């Protein structure tokens, strides 16, 4: 029984590798670009957020506002951007809405256009606001504001 399981496992692994080579699977292309060519463009929406948070170097917490992230793929990108920002800013906090909102998927806040007032920003210890704007062509730009203490 063990021998059959081993043969099955090895055969499956071989077939998967042959399929990847034969069909030039896009994952292989992406990995080759990132690992061998050192080209981060396929994952720039993630690495770009890391670089942005490093460049902002906030003294306090950060408020993110997302505009124009409609459609399923845009929502997925916004979710990755939110979680990357939260990871990169840690131990500082990322805010995207009122404190009552619970964020699980990273898309619950999209479409709210919740512009906080200066008093609520100050209460949360927010030193920087980053507004991400996605245009109709899918390009994302941002505007960064450092708040006065």
CATH number of the CATH domain containing 105: 3.40.1380
Average pLDDT estimate for 143-147: 89
Residue 26, pLDDT score? 65
CA atoms of 125 and 134, how far apart (whole Å): 27
- Regarding whether 118 and 81 lie in a shared domain, the answer is yes
Same domain, 101 and 141: yes
Same domain, 70 and 8: no
Q: Rounded distance, CA 21 to CA 130, Å? A: 42
Q: Are residues 94 and 21 in the same domain?
A: no
Residue with tokens 């619950």: 108
48 CA to centre of own chain:
9
Percent of the chain with pLDDT over 90: 3
**What's the pTM value of the predicted model, to 2 decimals?**
0.69
Query: What is the Cα–Cα distance from 128 to 121, expressed in whole angstroms?
Result: 9
Q: Helix 72-89 and helix 44-56: axis angle, to 10°? A: 40
**CA 144 to chain CA centroid, nearest Å:** 17
């Amino acid at each position: 029984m063990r021998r059959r399981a081993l043969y099955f496992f090895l055969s499956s692994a071989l077939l998967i590798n042959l399929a990847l080579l034969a069909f030039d699977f896009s994952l292989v292309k992406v990995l080759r670009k990132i690992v061998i060519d050192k080209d981060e463009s396929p994952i720039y929406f993630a690495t770009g957020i890391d670089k942005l948070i490093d460049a902002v170097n906030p003294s306090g917490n950060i408020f993110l506002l997302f505009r124009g992230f409609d459609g399923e793929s845009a929502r997925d990108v916004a979710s990755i951007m939110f979680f990357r920002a939260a990871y990169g800013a840690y131990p500082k906090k990322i805010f995207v809405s009122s404190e009552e909102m619970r964020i699980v998927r990273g898309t619950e806040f999209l479409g709210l256009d919740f512009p906080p007032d200066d008093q609520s920003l100050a209460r949360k210890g927010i030193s920087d606001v980053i507004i991400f704007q996605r245009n109709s062509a899918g390009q994302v730009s941002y505007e960064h504001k450092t708040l006065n203490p």
